[in-house]
C-alpha cells in the first residue's frame, strides 16, 4: 500500500518522473523509523519494566537523533517554499523587476513557475490598460482641443469681427475702450488657438515626429527669451504611441525650460542610437538640454507624467544635470525607447 502511495505521489505523469515533496519528506522519515525499529529488534538492547536509567538515556538519545534528522529533512524540503513566500511578500508591484527562482521540478518549482506566469500575465494586462489610458487621455485632449477651436474660437472670432465693425463708428471718448476690448479679444483668440494646438499635436499626425519637434522648438524660440538649437534627424521604426510620448515629453520639457530654468539656451535633439547591451538593437533618443539653474525640488505633475508616459511605451526617462557645474548645472531630460529596426521587420515578416 505504501509503495502504491509513493508511486502515485511520485507523479509519473506526462512521461516525466518528478520527486514530489511528499516523497522527499516521506522517504527519509520512513528510513529513519525503519532504522529505529531495526535497531530495537536486532540489538541486544531491551526495555524493561520499570525502565532503567541507562535504557531511558539510550531511548532519549535515539529519539533526539530521530527528531533532529526529521527537523533537518523538513527544513531542507520546505526551504524553497519559505524563499518563495519572501519573494511574494517583498514584491512591490506587478511590473517591478524580479521573478521567483525556479529551482526544482517539484510542487514548489511548479508553484514558482505558476507565480511567474501569473506575474507575466498581470504585467501584460497592466501595460495594455496603461496603453488604453494613454489613448483615452489623448482622445479627450483632442475633443477639448476641437471644442476650444470650433466653439470658443468661433465665438471670439465673431466678437472680434463685430467689434471691428463698430469700433470706427463709436463716439471719440469710447474709441480707446473699444480698441482695448478689440485687442483683448484678439489676444484671447490667439491664446485659445495656442492651447488648442498644444492639446492636439496635429503636426505630429500629419508630418511625423521630426517636423513636430522642429515646430515645438520654433514655438519655444518665438517666446523670445532663449536661444533654441535643434539637432533633429529622422528616426524610423517607432510606433505611433512611442512618437506621441516622445513628443509630449519634449513638449513638457520645453515648457519647463521656459517656466523654471532661467536658461540662455536650450538644445532639442532627436536621433537613433545603438543600444549598448547584449541584446543590441536601436533606440530612439529625445533630449532637451538647457543651461539654466538646474532641477531642484520635488517632481510635480509634469515630471511625474513624463516618467509615467515613458514607462507606458517601454521607454526610460532620466532628468538630471546637463553639466558638472555647481553654479549653473542646467538640466538634461533624456527619453529613450527601443524601436524596430529594418532588419527585425524583415525577419519578422
Ligand X SMILES: Nc1ncnc2c1ncn2[C@@H]1O[C@H](COP(=O)(O)OP(=O)(O)O)[C@@H](O)[C@H]1O
Interface contacts to ligand X, rule CB under 6 A:
256-257, 259-261, 290, 292-297, 299-303, 331
Is 251 a binding residue for Mg ion by CB under 5 A? The answer is no
CB atoms near residue 251 (< 10 Å): 21
Nearer to ligand X among residue 216 and residue 295 (C-beta) = 295
Q: Which residue is nearest to Mg ion (CB)?
A: 302
The SS3 of residue 309 is helix
The residue among 134 and 306 lying less far from ligand X, judged by its C-beta, is: 306
Beta bridge partner(s), residue 293 = none
Residue written as grid cell 513624463: 306
Q: Minimum CB separation from ligand X for residue 286, in Å?
A: 14
Q: With CB cut-offs between 5 and 8 Å by kind, which of ligand X, Mg ion, none does residue 145 bind?
A: none
Shortest distance, CB of residue 229 to ligand X, whole angstroms? 15
**Minimal distance in Å, beta carbon 300 to ligand X?**
3
- 299 is in the binding site of which of ligand X, Mg ion, none (Cβ under 5 to 8 A by kind)? ligand X
Taking the least distance from each CB to Mg ion, the nearer of 49 and 259 is: 259
Distant-in-sequence, close-in-space partners of 78: CB < 8 Å, separation ≥ 6: none
Q: Which residue is nearest to ligand X (CB)?
A: 302
Contact code string over 1-20 relative to Mg ion, x by CB under 5 A: --------------------
Sketch the per residue contact string, 88 through 117, with Mg ion: x for CB under 5 A, - otherwise: ------------------------------
**CA-based nearest residue to 24, from 74, 85, 79, 69:** 74
Contacts with 241 (C-beta within 8 Å, 6 or more apart), sequence order: 131, 134, 135, 312, 313
- Sites for Mg ion among residues 139-168 (CB under 5 A): none
Phi, psi of 46 (to 5 degrees): -140, 165
18 or 260: CB nearest ligand X: 260
Work out what residue 293 binds among ligand X, Mg ion, none; the CB cut-off runs from 5 to 8 Å by kind: ligand X
Site size toward Mg ion (CB under 5 A) is 2
Shortest distance in whole angstroms from residue 241 CB to Mg ion: 22
Judged by beta carbon, residue 282 or residue 306, the one nearer ligand X is: 306
Instruction: By CB under 5 A, tell whether 331 contacts Mg ion.
Output: no
Question: By C-beta, is 18 or 303 nearer to Mg ion?
Answer: 303
Instruction: Examine residue 302 and tell whether it contacts Mg ion (CB under 5 A).
Output: yes
d(CA 246, CA 337) in angstroms, rounded, equals: 9
> With respect to Mg ion, which residue has the nearer C-beta, 256 or 289?
256
Residue 194 or 239 with smaller CB distance to ligand X: 194
Provide the minimum distance between the beta carbon of 142 and ligand X in the complex, in angstroms, as a whole number.
22
Q: Which string of b and e fits 85-103 if b means at least 16 CB within 10 Å?
A: eebeeeeeeeeeeeebebe
Provide the minimum distance between the beta carbon of 226 and Mg ion in the complex, in angstroms, as a whole number: 16
Q: Which stretch binds Mg ion (CB under 5 A): 68-76, 121-129, 235-243, 294-302?
A: 294-302
Q: Which residues bind Mg ion (CB under 5 A)?
A: 256, 302
Amino acid at each position: 500500500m505504501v509503495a502504491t502511495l509513493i508511486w502515485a505521489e511520485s507523479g509519473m505523469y506526462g512521461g516525466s518522473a518528478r520527486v514530489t515533496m511528499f516523497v522527499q519528506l516521506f522517504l527519509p522519515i520512513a528510513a529513519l523509523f525503519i532504522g529505529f525499529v531495526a535497531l530495537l529488534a536486532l540489538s541486544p538492547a531491551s526495555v524493561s519494566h520499570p525502565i532503567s536509567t541507562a535504557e531511558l538515556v539510550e531511548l532519549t538519545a535515539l529519539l533526539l537523533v530521530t527528531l533532529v534528522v526529521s527537523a533537518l529533512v523538513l527544513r531542507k524540503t520546505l526551504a524553497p517554499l519559505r524563499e518563495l513566500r519572501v519573494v511574494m511578500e517583498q514584491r512591490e508591484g506587478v511590473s517591478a523587476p524580479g521573478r521567483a527562482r525556479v529551482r526544482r521540478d517539484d510542487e514548489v518549482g511548479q508553484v514558482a513557475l505558476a507565480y511567474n506566469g501569473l506575474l507575466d500575465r498581470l504585467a501584460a494586462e497592466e501595460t495594455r490598460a496603461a496603453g488604453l489610458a494613454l489613448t483615452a487621455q489623448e482622445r479627450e485632449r483632442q475633443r477639448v482641443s476641437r471644442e476650444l477651436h470650433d466653439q470658443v474660437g468661433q465665438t471670439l472670432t465673431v466678437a472680434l469681427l463685430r467689434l471691428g465693425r463698430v469700433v470706427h463708428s463709436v463716439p471719440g471718448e469710447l474709441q480707446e475702450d473699444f480698441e482695448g476690448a478689440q485687442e483683448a479679444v484678439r489676444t484671447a483668440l490667439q491664446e485659445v488657438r495656442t492651447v488648442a494646438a498644444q492639446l492636439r499635436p496635429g503636426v505630429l499626425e500629419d508630418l511625423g515626429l521630426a517636423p513636430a519637434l522642429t515646430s515645438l522648438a520654433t514655438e519655444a524660440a518665438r517666446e523670445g527669451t532663449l536661444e533654441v538649437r535643434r539637432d533633429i534627424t529622422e528616426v524610423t521604426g517607432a510606433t505611433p504611441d512611442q512618437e506621441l510620448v516622445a513628443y509630449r515629453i519634449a513638449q513638457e520639457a520645453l515648457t519647463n525650460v521656459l517656466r523654471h530654468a532661467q536658461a540662455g539656451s536650450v538644445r532639442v535633439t532627436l536621433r537613433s542610437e545603438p543600444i549598448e547591451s547584449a541584446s543590441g538593437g536601436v533606440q530612439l533618443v529625445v533630449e532637451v538640454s538647457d543651461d539654466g539653474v538646474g532641477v531642484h525640488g520635488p517632481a510635480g505633475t509634469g515630471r511625474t507624467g513624463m516618467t509615467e508616459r515613458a514607462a507606458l511605451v517601454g521607454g526610460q526617462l532620466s532628468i538630471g544635470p546637463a553639466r558638472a557645474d555647481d553654479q549653473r548645472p542646467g538640466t538634461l531630460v533624456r527619453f529613450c525607447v527601443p524601436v524596430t529596426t529594418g532588419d527585425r521587420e524583415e525577419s519578422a515578416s
